[in-house]
Structure 1
């Protein structure tokens, strides 16, 4: 308590005493027996009231014992069920939870994981992917400031993500893997991996890379083949030995039929092979009959040119040609013309665009000749000011010409362009607005324009190569920027009229992937309508069974997750309640369950992560040994901690009761003695 507060309490004591003595002792004509009683009551009430006004604070220490946390993380993927371990895993968890000694020593926390970590135990063992590395990293972050050993019940088989054997280096918590699954060595051949592009072009050949592996000691002979329907399109004899236990095949297949072509790759199983599921893999390739040809016209050498080329050609269905204005002879071979910082030298290109009614993409910058652009077209006029400015992008969430997402533009570097306002003279839909000197404006930085069936996009700044680089710094990949730029290109390269209802889906999906179908719905003014009631009807072409599912609103689209559907060929129709609008398409789900590709538990990697974190590996039948070692480990001791609370006297409700009681007794006593 501060010295100033103590002095105030002393002063309050003296004032209360003087008030009581003055009223009942000094002022009284004769001292009666009850005068000292009345004085005491008055002193008590006045002193308590003054204490409330001073409101001194006190430190209050409370002590408690904090038990270490024991984290139990259970693998909920279908590989546990495939290895017939789900019953033993559930029994192991239940026995841990029933152990009273363990619960007295530890605070038990339960998690399940597959492709993501869940803070609950709803074990179904039907999840299609496993990412052990991510689950362990998230647990290490959750308990980074506490002592929390982790009991990890898993078979150690991971389908994607970082290699958890190495990602656990530096983890604070000790790991105790409990191995579920058979660790007996068995003979097995399998297709370890198959790589193929999603798209190929008609009358070309597309590459396929296949990795085959063998676990065994004898020399064996088998055969690898690829079928399309009932026809064998590729076959090759394969030999394995203990020393030569893997092979990589590089082959090409013909693309002779437009559309989705399905194939089945098979490594013929050995006679006594136990697991033959991992000897087959289904894959598909969509054959298209043409590429989107894009012409980029530039009179300058700039990093933007390289970024645009990389972004466009990240999609194999697109190719780009770069030419100077005087080199452009015929633009009929191209679906889109990109004009980079045009000047008067581009007049011939503009005339050809107008004559052939081609869509085009104008990118302006510090070298753009706006005098020329303002006269060569009638879509917009830009103020002519000989001054440059930096513009930070701000995404327009109401953009409605097509489905597009904010990829974090507000954190991207600014673009440099000519200062001044642009005035649009036709229908337009802004994608990005300008933020200038941290002031958000409604001035357009990036927009799409459509007039007389001709589409144009206008970007009023140079330096988008920095955006692509920033996207890599943020996400360690270029995909978000390339997808954004690709949607712009796709919109401009297409001459399809606007539709109030559009659907977005792939032509085929692998059975182990998330299958999301999206739809975008617009008002009659082509503004995104979040009030729509959309539903999708999906029909299995083989069984003729149909299922109708409502689509959920998410950001600026409606979507539905049909990952639980069985492999097969499907067609779907999206409709809007109350509107005579529908859109239909089709897709295929290829049969493939990556979790069934494993025959044994991966005890080697589980043992390594136990060593990396100073833990120990156990098996499902070693529950008692695990519990005893945890209880005996001196690293996991309860810790007594103290908590200091600052308590104000005004929060002490009994002091108010003392004031009320003292004043009440004084009033009734004075009334009884005829002093009132």
Structure 2
């Protein structure tokens, strides 16, 4: 890379820790004492021997004195540094396209064969870096050919990583050889404005719209239910085929599920086509939307898209048993019935334990057909034992339970379900008070209370909820229960009790339950509208709770999950791990690694510690297909546990969505950075632009002479020589 043009020796100095005058006086005294010792000897020796002995003694004493003053030898040099001109080479798949006028691969090769890249310059050095979705390692020289197979282009990231790698060098300028098809990351032109060095794009490709027909996008549900009609909106974009009719098909497992005819506009505008299908089985299935290949179009690769949809069984069946037709019940029922994923049936108790409309609870076998049981301010003092026994029998079959306490809940009767609820003893009731709720650290990260992906945003959403009601003086939980939120002592004015649990969960194998011990949750819906917001937090909390209760989840000590099961190409996968000791206390300081495996190989990802036993990591996926991951948690040399899972990435290439050379973007990058835009056909004026001011760096080397072993050895040798001569001459 950069080499020295000129290095000059600027200064040599010897520095000591004490006074220079004192050092000189000490050295003169050393010489004087040596002279005094050997001016006459017994027996007398010739003058030559006395001078030699005097010199040996003086040298030893002078070295010792120098060591006492801790001398440091400094040598300063001035070096002229040669600038580096970095050449960013776009290695993405769009660089291999055949435009109407040129072949981009050939155009790139001709550009790199230009004289400027092969002739040694005395003013600067070239450094070649290929990139696509990230910056790759520097090449040894100008490449003869490139693979041109990157699945995405992120110019902004490539520029940022380049600047970081050349931070210790004289970074003079950047050449950007690309078609400008930037489809990942942030706007590179905005980033170039503060880049600090000029950027000179050399454009590859034709800026005119290319003759092509493509599926630019689709919109459908990521999750659907068996037996329902699922819409798939397909967006078709075309250029150069105005008025022609094409067939858009939806396929699965080599079968055509639906088809529509669309007349192409040919003006590069998107046209929407709606297709439908009705899945029959549960699972994650792969679908394809396709349009036929047109004669003379740029590429057929973008004529189809594949995607995945997770098919669940028919809607979740929820049973609500309420102690009265109060506000909490009415708002809950309305919220759940508005969700198309739920099928809700309710029983509301009236006097003497009977239910409205002369209904009776179904028998345990029928209750077991529901996916989740919800108790709202139930049971009450008048609730019948036989109804509770039916619920207890259904819970014994593994059904999850959601308990929403109320003002009149009879906890003694509720404790007949103690094998299935988080409570361990009958709570002591007290006066009703208005209170606020606060998440515990484990609650911030628990899926039940996850209102937003970002932790701070999640906490803020809970804090903005209006207060609710509470009438308990004491709460005792089961050993296997976990408190997620407690009473906020700071905001609940005048409430002097300890921070009692308000939201608790219990999970034992596949048996789950959740309980909310505060009531008046209807306020989280109605009152939020009064402050200019909406009921999204209330709805999300209910959906999270039902989803967590109805999802199988064993009690593993190490849990590693991806935030989704299905991703689009270029989307970021977020891994989250939770690590516990055997007593379910969170583990901090563990090493958590995730290994991803696809058809093209393996990759490793280290997760970072987010605190409270939680670890996080991100990974950007570009290639479509099925991925499996295995995660392991280590603490020192001990393996705490392992977990595994899988996800799918839709087979969709970003590189074939915008196929023309993006001249506008490249000109903006050049303008914002202080560079100049060139094309591959004419960049002869580039060399004149690559002139840089001289830059010198100062190199200073220091040696601690007093701390060197050779000096000690020299003293010993000199003293030994003096002693040897004195002995040979018989001197005293």
**SS of structure 2 residue aligned to 1:220:** coil
**SS of structure 1 residue aligned to 2:133:** coil
**SS of structure 2 residue aligned to 1:50:** helix
Tell whether the 8 Å contact from 1:336 to 1:493 is kept in structure 2 after alignment: yes
The answer for the alignment partner of 1:128 in structure 2 is 151
1:114 CA drift (Å)? 1.9
CA RMSD of aligned residues (A): 6.8
Is 1:13 the counterpart of 2:27 in the alignment? Answer: yes
Is 1:192 the counterpart of 2:216 in the alignment? Answer: yes
Instruction: Give CA-to-partner distance per residue, 1:533-585, whole Å, 9 cap, x none.
Output: x99999xxxxxxxx99999797699x9x9989997xx99999xxxxxxxx999
1:18 CA drift (Å)? 5.4
Is 1:99 the counterpart of 2:118 in the alignment? Answer: yes
1:431 CA drift (Å)? 9.9
**SS of structure 2 residue aligned to 1:601:** coil
**SS of structure 2 residue aligned to 1:48:** helix
The answer for the alignment partner of 1:49 in structure 2 is 64
Distance 1:141 1:573, change over 3 A: closer
Return the alpha-carbon distance in structure 1 between the equivalents of residues 89 and 552 of structure 2: 52
Q: Of 629, 642, 645, which aligns to 2:688?
A: 629
Distance 1:408 1:231, change over 3 A: closer
Deviates more, 1:370-379 or 1:37-46: 370-379
Q: Of 594, 611, 631, which aligns to 2:671?
A: 611
Return the alpha-carbon distance in structure 2 between the equivalents of residues 640 and 430 of structure 1: 63
1:462-477 matches, within 5 Å, as none
The answer for the alignment partner of 1:455 in structure 2 is 512
Q: Of 296, 305, 308, which aligns to 1:281?
A: 305
Return the alpha-carbon distance in structure 2 between the equivalents of residues 4 and 571 of structure 1: 69
Is 1:238 the counterpart of 2:263 in the alignment? Answer: yes
1:322 CA drift (Å)? 13
1:599 CA drift (Å)? 3.8
1:165 CA drift (Å)? 3.8
The answer for the alignment partner of 1:650 in structure 2 is 706
Return the alpha-carbon distance in structure 2 between the equivalents of residues 56 and 215 of structure 1: 79
1:75-114 matches, within 5 Å, as 75-83=90-98, 85-86=104-105, 89=108, 92-93=111-112, 99-102=118-121, 104-114=122-132
Q: Of 42, 47, 54, which aligns to 1:39?
A: 54
Q: Of 83, 94, 118, which aligns to 2:136?
A: 118
The answer for the alignment partner of 1:71 in structure 2 is 86
Tell whether the 8 Å contact from 1:111 to 1:119 is kept in structure 2 after alignment: yes
Instruction: Give CA-to-partner distance per residue, 1:464-508, whole Å, 9 cap, x none.
Output: xxxxxxxxxxxxxxxxxx999999865531357779999989887
Return the alpha-carbon distance in structure 1 between the equivalents of residues 37 and 94 of structure 2: 89
Is 1:137 the counterpart of 2:150 in the alignment? Answer: no
1:612 CA drift (Å)? 1.7
The answer for the alignment partner of 1:494 in structure 2 is 551
Return the alpha-carbon distance in structure 1 between the equivalents of residues 349 and 74 of structure 2: 80
1:605 CA drift (Å)? 1.7
1:639 CA drift (Å)? 0.9
Return the alpha-carbon distance in structure 1 between the equivalents of residues 25 and 660 of structure 2: 82
Q: Of 645, 652, 667, which aligns to 2:723?
A: 667
Return the alpha-carbon distance in structure 2 between the equivalents of residues 46 and 421 of structure 1: 85
Tell whether the 8 Å contact from 2:41 to 2:731 is kept in structure 1 after alignment: no
Distance 1:408 1:644, change over 3 A: farther
Instruction: Give CA-to-partner distance per residue, 1:253-304, whole Å, 9 cap, x none.
Output: 25353456665444566654343443433445444343446799999999xx
**SS of structure 1 residue aligned to 2:171:** coil
Return the alpha-carbon distance in structure 2 between the equivalents of residues 484 and 669 of structure 1: 97
Q: Which runs of 5+ in 1 are unaligned?
A: 433-443, 463-481, 539-546, 575-582
Tell whether the 8 Å contact from 1:203 to 1:254 is kept in structure 2 after alignment: no
The answer for the alignment partner of 1:359 in structure 2 is 400
TM-score, normalised by the number of residues in structure 1? 0.65
Tell whether the 8 Å contact from 1:325 to 1:345 is kept in structure 2 after alignment: no
Return the alpha-carbon distance in structure 1 between the equivalents of residues 314 and 557 of structure 2: 27
Tell whether the 8 Å contact from 1:516 to 1:563 is kept in structure 2 after alignment: no
The answer for the alignment partner of 1:641 in structure 2 is 697
1:117-516 matches, within 5 Å, as 117-121=135-139, 123-143=146-166, 147-183=171-207, 185-216=209-240, 220-223=243-246, 225-228=248-251, 231=256, 233-240=258-265, 245-249=268-272, 251=274, 253-255=276-278, 257-259=280-282, 264-267=288-291, 272-292=296-316, 335-336=371-372, 354=392, 356-357=394-395, 358-360=399-401, 377=418, 393=441, 426=479, 449-451=506-508, 454-456=511-513, 490-494=547-551
Instruction: Give CA-to-partner distance per residue, 1:608-636, whole Å, 9 cap, x none.
Output: 2112212123344556543x2344x2xx2
Tell whether the 8 Å contact from 1:186 to 1:215 is kept in structure 2 after alignment: yes
The answer for the alignment partner of 1:467 in structure 2 is none
Q: Which runs of 5+ in 2 are unaligned?
A: 1-14, 464-469, 486-500, 520-538, 608-613, 631-642
Tell whether the 8 Å contact from 1:225 to 1:232 is kept in structure 2 after alignment: no
Distance 1:184 1:251, change over 3 A: closer
Instruction: Give CA-to-partner distance per residue, 1:5-43, whole Å, 9 cap, x none.
Output: 325524532552454245334886869624344233212
Distance 1:23 1:261, change over 3 A: closer
Tell whether the 8 Å contact from 2:34 to 2:54 is kept in structure 1 after alignment: yes
Tell whether the 8 Å contact from 1:8 to 1:54 is kept in structure 2 after alignment: no
**SS of structure 1 residue aligned to 2:153:** coil
**SS of structure 1 residue aligned to 2:276:** strand
Distance 1:492 1:511, change over 3 A: same
Return the alpha-carbon distance in structure 2 between the equivalents of residues 519 and 610 of structure 1: 43
Distance 1:42 1:588, change over 3 A: closer
